[in-house]
């Protein structure tokens, strides 16, 4: 335990009664006293505050001073339109490999004179290394190790943040602004990982506790642990890197085509030019052999990650696999995601999941499972 | 006579039939239960076999047969409403009844004081 890293909020978590768990090398709150179910439902009805300071925050600065140079350089690593990203706007992206697999998923923001990138905790060293080795001729790649990151999520997140920074109400989904919160210069995006409206707030480390404390002091805000973070994102149909997407999963198999803009596809002005482009662009036309789908059960028994899926009740060979599964507190029913052959990916297709030796009927379901609360 | 196992089950003996559930400490660790799978009546289990499964939002946990025996009753009420286990783990949240092969081995299980020490309470 002693070699686990701690975020700026570690002693706050402990004082709030959190049960801590090791996650990506950090000692993080799994849940607080009220538990996963209540934390999840509170986030859906009011506002939840998540410490996500373990994630990697990176500044990518063009040596030329021209943001277009950084954007074009970044486009050699992601199949996403970075050059077309306006100042103060953010976009979902993923690093790909030569086989078209996903090395990590990330958020990219155009901050005017640099790109601001947020990557997964478990991948951050590799991502910095990847960006340094590919971009160093044109860019300075600077990990921002002196900044904390909080996510404030839920329909009342905007009210809670507006009490401290009223301008946040002017932002729409995927806008990014520098806001002064409790005297600290914060980088705030209107985005998140819960399927609800909300914000992610990057804070200078020396101000982290003041900002976190001021947000928690808002009546609608409760602290939320990683347990509810997982059930919230799964109901919202969002991928967890390492579970639902990985280095052997292409964006097309992962049903993430929406994140690849026209300009990077065949016939686009900046088509291809990223690792695995040939495979991924071909799959955009002809599909991938397998596809990520939502899975709903007929009974109350949850189907968990790694549960095998079968086409027929008595088949010997499995056709697919569950990659994430929880009991969805908002649906009061099990929800899962997994991969099936593309011919079986249509919503409504009946399959069977083997749980503790029994074949349970399940159905392919549309994602997300809930209505998204984004303020577009 | 109330006895406890290291796996956080409690056993209440009546003749040669043991009623089995999970302890309050276990329910606190597991959090809100959302699904309980109970064994079939008539199943013969050896000590340590999986007898039931209790699931929270995030995870499934096995409940083991505390001793050798045969399942002679299950609590269908908690199958329908798993939160009953959280509300009253030592009472109406019981899970199953086992007819024990050898009643004398119950003696060797922990009493309440020993269990409290086991969980550091």
CATH of the domain at A344: 2.40.30.110
Residue A86 DSSP symbol: P
Q: What share of chain A is helix, strand, coil (3-state, %, to 5)?
A: 25, 35, 40
**Looking at the domain assignment, is residue A349 inside a domain?**
yes
Answer for the pair B57, A39: CB distance below 8 angstroms, yes or no.
no
Structure tokens at A138: 């044109």
- Check if A301 contacts B (Cβ < 8 Å): yes
Tell me the pLDDT tens digit for each residue of A123-151: 999 999 999 999 999 999 999 999 999 99
Q: Across chain A, what does the average pLDDT equal?
A: 97
Is residue A190 domain-shared with residue A321, that is, in the same domain? Answer: no
Distance from the Cα of A265 to chain B's closest Cα (Å) equals: 38
Is residue A42 domain-shared with residue A156, that is, in the same domain? Answer: yes
Query: pLDDT exceeding 90 applies to what percent of chain B?
Result: 98
- Check if B35 contacts A (Cβ < 8 Å): yes
Per-residue confidence (pLDDT) for residue B91, from 0 to 100: 96
Q: pLDDT grade, residue A302 (50/70/90)?
A: very high
**Looking at the domain assignment, is residue A244 inside a domain?**
no
Residue A216: name the closest of A45, A50, A28, A42 by CA: A50
Distance from the Cα of B101 to chain A's closest Cα (Å) equals: 26
Q: What is the mean pLDDT of residues A343-351?
A: 98
CATH of the domain at A43: 3.30.1360.120
Report the distance separating Cα B72 and Cα B51, nearest Å.
12
Q: pLDDT grade, residue B1 (50/70/90)?
A: confident
Report the distance separating Cα A124 and Cα B101, nearest Å.
56
**Looking at the domain assignment, is residue A20 inside a domain?**
yes
Nearest CA in chain A to B83: A37
Per-residue confidence (pLDDT) for residue B121, from 0 to 100: 77
Contact call for A37 and B60, based on CB within 8 A: no
Q: What is the mean pLDDT of residues A170-193?
A: 98
**Looking at the domain assignment, is residue A107 inside a domain?**
no
How many beta-carbon pairs under 8 angstroms link A with B? 44
A300 contacts in B (CB within 8 Å)? 34-35
Q: Answer whether residue A65 shows pLDDT above 80.
A: yes
Distance from the Cα of A318 to chain B's closest Cα (Å) equals: 22
Q: What is the mean pLDDT of residues B67-93?
A: 96
A37 contacts in B (CB within 8 Å)? 31-32, 34, 57
Q: Answer whether residue A34 shows pLDDT above 80.
A: yes
**Looking at the domain assignment, is residue A258 inside a domain?**
no
Q: Answer whether residue A161 shows pLDDT above 60.
A: yes
Is residue A29 domain-shared with residue A168, that is, in the same domain? Answer: yes
| The B2-4 sheet, strands edge to edge | B2-4, B9-14, B17-22, B96-100, B69-74, B44-45
Q: Is A139 exposed, middle or buried (0-12, 13-18, 19+ CB in 10 A)?
A: buried
Report the distance separating Cα A320 and Cα A312, nearest Å.
12
**Looking at the domain assignment, is residue A357 inside a domain?**
yes
Is residue A298 domain-shared with residue A374, that is, in the same domain? Answer: yes
Per-residue confidence (pLDDT) for residue A72, from 0 to 100: 97
**Looking at the domain assignment, is residue A256 inside a domain?**
no
Q: Is B95 exposed, middle or buried (0-12, 13-18, 19+ CB in 10 A)?
A: buried
- Cα-to-chain-centroid distance, residue A251: 14
Which one of A36, A300, A356 has the shortest CB-CB distance to B56? A36
Look up the ipTM and state it. 0.90
Of A235, A269, A303, the residue at which a domain comes to its end is A235
Provide the domain limits for residue A177.
10-53+146-235
Q: What is the mean pLDDT of residues B35-62?
A: 96
Of A235, A270, A298, the residue at which a domain comes to its end is A235
Q: Answer whether residue A1 shows pLDDT above 60.
A: no
Is residue A178 domain-shared with residue A309, that is, in the same domain? Answer: no
Q: Answer whether residue A64 shows pLDDT above 60.
A: yes
Structure tokens at A208: 């982290």
Is residue A171 domain-shared with residue A310, that is, in the same domain? Answer: no
A35 contacts in B (CB within 8 Å)? 31-32
Distance from the Cα of A256 to chain B's closest Cα (Å) equals: 25
What residues contact A85, with CB distance under 8 A and at least 6 apart? Answer: A71, A91, A108, A109, A110
Is residue A213 domain-shared with residue A317, that is, in the same domain? Answer: no
Q: What is the mean pLDDT of residues A164-189?
A: 98
Please count the structural domains in chain A: 2
Per-residue confidence (pLDDT) for residue A278, from 0 to 100: 98
Tell me the pLDDT tens digit for each residue of A192-244: 999 999 999 999 999 999 999 999 999 999 999 999 999 999 999 999 999 99
Q: What is the mean pLDDT of residues A260-264?
A: 98
Q: Answer whether residue A2 shows pLDDT above 90.
A: no
Is residue A167 domain-shared with residue A26, that is, in the same domain? Answer: yes
- Check if B37 contacts A (Cβ < 8 Å): yes
Report the distance separating Cα A84 and Cα A75, nearest Å.
11
Per-residue confidence (pLDDT) for residue A359, from 0 to 100: 97
- Check if B32 contacts A (Cβ < 8 Å): yes
Architecture of the CATH domain B2-109: Beta Barrel (2.40)
Report the distance separating Cα A224 and Cα A244, nearest Å.
22
**Looking at the domain assignment, is residue A94 inside a domain?**
no
Domain segments of chain B: what residues?
2-109
Q: For A113-183, where are the E strands, in sequence order?
A: 115-119, 139-143, 147-153, 176-181
Is residue A294 domain-shared with residue A221, that is, in the same domain? Answer: no
Contact call for B55 and A301, based on CB within 8 A: yes
- Check if B81 contacts A (Cβ < 8 Å): no
Q: What is the mean pLDDT of residues B53-77?
A: 96
């Amino acid at each position: 335990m002693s070699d686990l890293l701690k975020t700026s909020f570690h002693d706050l978590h402990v004082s709030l009664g959190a049960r801590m768990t090791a996650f990506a090398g950090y000692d993080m709150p799994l849940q607080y006293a009220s538990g996963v179910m209540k934390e999840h439902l509170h986030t859906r009805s009011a506002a939840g505050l998540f410490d996500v300071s373990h994630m990697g925050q990176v500044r990518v600065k063009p040596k030329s001073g021209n943001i277009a140079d950084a954007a074009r350089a970044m486009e050699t690593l992601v199949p996403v339109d970075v050059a077309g990203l306006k100042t103060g706007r953010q976009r979902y992206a993923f690093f790909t490999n030569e086989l078209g697999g996903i090395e990590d998923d990330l958020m990219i923001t155009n901050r005017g004179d640099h790109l601001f990138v947020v990557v997964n905790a478990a991948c951050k060293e590799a991502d910095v290394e990847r960006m340094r080795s590919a971009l160093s001729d044109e860019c300075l790649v600077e990990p921002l190790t002196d900044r904390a990151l909080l996510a404030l999520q839920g329909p009342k997140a905007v009210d809670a943040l507006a009490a401290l920074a009223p301008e946040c109400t002017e932002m729409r989904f995927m806008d990014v602004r520098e806001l002064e919160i409790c005297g600290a210069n914060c980088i705030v995006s209107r985005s998140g990982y819960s399927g609800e409206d909300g914000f992610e707030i990057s804070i200078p480390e020396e101000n982290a506790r003041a900002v976190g404390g001021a947000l928690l002091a808002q009546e609608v805000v409760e602290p939320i642990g990683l347990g509810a973070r997982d059930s919230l994102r799964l109901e919202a149909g969002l991928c967890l890197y390492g579970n639902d997407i990985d280095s052997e999963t292409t964006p097309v198999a992962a049903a993430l085509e929406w994140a690849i803009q026209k300009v990077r596809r065949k016939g686009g002005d900046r088509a291809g030019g990223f690792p695995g482009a040939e495979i991924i662009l071909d799959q955009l036309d002809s599909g991938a052999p397998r596809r990520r789908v939502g899975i709903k059960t007929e009974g109350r028994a949850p189907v968990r990650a790694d549960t095998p899926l079968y086409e027929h009740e008595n088949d010997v060979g499995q056709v697919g696999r569950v990659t994430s599964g929880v009991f969805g507190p908002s649906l009061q029913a099990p929800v899962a995601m997994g991969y099936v052959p593309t011919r079986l990916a249509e919503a409504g297709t009946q399959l069977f999941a083997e749980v503790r030796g029994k074949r349970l009927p399940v159905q392919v379901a549309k994602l997300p499972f809930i209505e998204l609360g984004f303020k577009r | 006579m109330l006895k406890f196992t290291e796996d956080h089950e409690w056993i209440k003996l009546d003749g040669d039939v043991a009623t089995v559930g999970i302890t309050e400490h276990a329910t606190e660790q597991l959090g809100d239960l959302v699904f309980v799978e109970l064994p079939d009546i008539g199943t013969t289990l050896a000590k340590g076999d999986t007898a039931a499964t209790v699931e929270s939002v995030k995870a499934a946990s096995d409940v083991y047969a505390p001793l050798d025996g045969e399942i002679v009753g299950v609590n269908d009420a908690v199958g329908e409403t798993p939160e009953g286990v959280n509300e009253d783990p030592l009472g109406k949240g019981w899970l199953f009844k086992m007819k024990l092969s050898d009643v004398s081995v119950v003696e060797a299980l922990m009493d309440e004081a020993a269990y409290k020490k086991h969980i550091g309470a």
